[in-house]
Structure 1
Amino acid sequence: MYQLFNLEEKVALVTGGSKGIGFGMGRALGRAGAKLAIASRGEEDLINAALQLREEGIEVESFQCDVTNKEQVQQLVESVTGYYGQIDVLLNNAGMNIRKPLIEIEEEDWDKVLTTNLKGLFLVGQAVAKQMIRQREGGKIINVSSILGEVGMGSQTSYAASKGGVNQLTKVWAEELATEGIYVNAIGPAYIKTPMTEGWLSDKDRYNHIVDQTMLKRVGELSDLDGPVVFLASDASNYVTGQILYVDGGWTAK
């Protein structure tokens, strides 16, 4: 394996790692040699995800956690370091969306999305950064943003606000943690085909509209995120920090 992208002996914590793009990107890190710690609220999903990854020869342990709960987040970090001894990579992925027009969105919808996507990301990032500083070996933090942190789209009030916040947190953390050898970047996917988005993308008009926004004229596949996440987790990105890498078929460049 080309050593620049080799993650052997690295431990990667993936929040929201039991399904969707979190599972896909976690699997990519595992295939590159990382030992995985996947975290999610759903116990059954975690069990199934861990079984599937182990069948592929990936070393993985699962941890149940609600990222919006500070005590659970702290326990997660302690459990992962207790099991593996360290955390070298954080894929800060757990998130959700509620799609409603501005005049229909309820206060509780806003609170739920912002609490998960922004507060949860902050709590995990803070706890892992403290652990990485204690380890004195640096690390890589990869926040999961979205093209909606950059472009506008209807019915995305709370989600777009949260992802814009993720982008700014990424830049601030990169500045603060650089002297500790901790690199902080974000991945901003466009629409990616997953079991979770399959139903939403099945609407022909919606699908065609999304495809028309891209230069490559297609919706992304989970595998399209493999290279970017391994790059940001590995030594190949050792002069890259504070950046949002859009994996979007050219959408944000138009």
Structure 2
Amino acid sequence: MTSNATAETPNPVRDPDTGEIDILEDAWEEMQGTPPEYTIIPVPKKSNVDPGGTIEIDLYVNGYGGVSQSKLQINYPYPDLITKEERKGELNYSIWLAEDSEPPAIYSTQTPQEEHRVGEWGATAIIEPELFSPFRDKDCAYPLLTSEVTFAECPFLQIKLFTSEDVDSGNYPIHYTFTYGDQDDVSQDHKETVVHINNARERREPWVTRGAIVIVLIALASLLIQAWNTLWV
């Protein structure tokens, strides 16, 4: 049986074939007259990676209010952390804005859109105001925004950083600064996550653990065989 809450939840995607998101136009207009208050939410996929591995961090922007411009700056100022190869990483969107559309038309995509170049020291995402669009109303609450959720099983934003195989082990803080507002009023929100690069011992630990499990299973199987043979003696 379907609950009332589930039955009353509208489908955020208007057109399943194109992925067009059903934006609440009235809520959009109302939001533009509200002073903005936003926070950046970084969610690392893993807390530690091996040298040469990929750091993956999902990113969401939560809040409410009208903005005319915004940017997200991600800094990792460590000369040996990122690969020396030409591709340093990826910064992808799970939604995209149709150009020359009025009102805004926003679409989800199964394949994240790579929009920005990732550098050796940092990355910058310029986020269009329409990407903070209300698409689902809630009684006695602010509407849910497209920047707060996943679409097509992808986060609003995701950054991938390709690490160097020669990077030293240890902890590396990654800094996020979200700047938003207009020409008269600018606000910022800061966050930090830490990624740990595994040393040689830590890289061996998963295999040691797997080996220990195999030994335990073999010992258990041996005991079961002995018990079975005892019953039939």
- Please identify the structure whose Cα radius of gyration is greater: 2
User: What's the TM-score once normalised by structure 1's chain length?
Assistant: 0.24
Q: Which has the higher strand share?
A: 2
User: What's the TM-score once normalised by structure 2's chain length?
Assistant: 0.25
Q: Which has the higher helix share?
A: 1
